[in-house]
């Protein structure tokens, strides 16, 4: 791409709206920014910007160019991350992604890993969306549910997430301990706000508890755990996470049909690198030690 510098300049002008802002981000003189814009408009034969006293506003053609430039810029940054991850040293960025619910496992594992490899910079990214390893968005992903099927990924069975029902001891003191499933209809619950959630324990709850008894709802697992810990009602929680909260009482033990298998996912291009292999080995050992305690 012979004129990528000019396109990148136009993208920053469109994004920021001023020549000075683009110059600062790019680390060039403002005259260079103007020269790039003029040259690109001359080459394409269209106006990319409307000039006015407050700065530059992208025309329709400018918006089209900005969308292409943004995609290209994102992909180049992701490629850079993948290339940097192919070295033979256990150093630099380590990008790990998971649902936030797995933070109680991954945060201490990542902390102890960095203590062993101090040249590593940990980046732990949590989101409900599936990060695309083929674009370099992560080195290692921890996922729950059915085995991931994306091509060019290496998928390893890791463990399973044991789920049980918990309540704060003050809730139990006030409302009593359910003696069995038949008693659940007389209690209050904390659960996900999505009535169509496909999580096996959420489906089970819909079949055993009236909807109007789910009195505290959220889309964030951290909020749900906090609500259970505050006594808002009975709720599902990972057994590992609940063990860290002595104020919680297990209302019903983990069940096979509530459990979710966990998978470690890496991209085939990065799977054999020293950094990824070192972390995979560390995480497996860490999780094994945790389950033995």
Per-residue pLDDT reduced to its tens digit, 198-230: 778 888 888 888 899 999 999 888 899 999 999
Averaged confidence pLDDT in the chain: 86
248 and 200 inside one domain: yes
Least confident of 33-47, 61-75, 254-268: 61-75
Give the distance from CA 241 to its chain's centroid.
18
CB contact set of 71 (below 8 Å; sequence gap of 6+): none
131 and 172 inside one domain: no
How many structural domains are present in the chain?
A: 3
Q: Output the pLDDT for position 278.
A: 95
Domain that residue 179 falls in: 163-258
Inside any domain, residue 136: yes
What is the chain's Cα-based Rg?
25
Inside any domain, residue 83: no
48 and 191 inside one domain: no
Query: Contact at 8 Å (CB) between 57 and 17?
Result: yes
Q: Output the pLDDT for position 84.
A: 57
The predicted model scores a pTM of 0.58
Helical packing angle, 274-292 and 103-116, nearest 10°: 120
198 and 249 inside one domain: yes
DSSP string of 36-63?
HHHHHHHHHTS--EEEETTEEEE-HHHH
Average pLDDT over residues 45-65: 87
- CATH number for position 216: 3.40.190.10
């Amino acid at each position: 791409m012979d004129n990528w510098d000019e396109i990148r300049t136009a993208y920053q002008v469109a994004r920021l709206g001023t020549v000075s802002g683009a110059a600062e981000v790019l680390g060039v003189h403002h005259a260079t920014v103007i020269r790039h814009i003029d040259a690109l408009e001359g080459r394409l034969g269209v106006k990319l910007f409307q000039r006015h006293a407050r700065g530059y506003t992208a025309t329709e053609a400018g918006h089209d160019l900005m969308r292409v430039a943004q995609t290209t810029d994102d992909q180049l940054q992701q490629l850079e991350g993948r290339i940097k991850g192919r070295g033979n040293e256990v150093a630099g960025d380590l990008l790990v992604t998971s649902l936030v619910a797995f933070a109680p496992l991954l945060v201490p594992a990542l902390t102890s890993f960095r203590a062993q490899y101090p040249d590593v910079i940990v980046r732990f990214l949590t989101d409900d969306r599936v990060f695309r390893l083929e674009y370099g968005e992560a080195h290692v992903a921890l996922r729950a549910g059915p085995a991931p099927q994306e091509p060019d990924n290496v998928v390893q069975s890791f463990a399973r997430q044991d789920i049980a029902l918990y309540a704060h001891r003050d809730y139990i003191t006030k409302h009593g301990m359910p003696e069995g499933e038949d008693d659940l209809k007389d209690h209050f619950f904390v659960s996900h706000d999505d009535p169509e959630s496909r999580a096996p324990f959420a489906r089970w709850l819909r079949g055993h508890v009236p909807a109007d008894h789910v009195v505290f709802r959220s889309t964030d697992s951290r909020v749900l755990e906090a609500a259970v810990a505050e006594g808002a009602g009975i709720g599902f929680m990972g057994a590992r996470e609940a063990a860290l909260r002595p104020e919680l009482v297990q209302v019903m033990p983990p069940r096979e049909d509530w459990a979710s298998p966990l998978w470690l996912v890496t991209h085939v291009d990065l799977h054999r690198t020293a950094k990824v292999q070192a972390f995979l080995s560390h995480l497996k050992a860490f999780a094994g030690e945790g389950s033995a305690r």
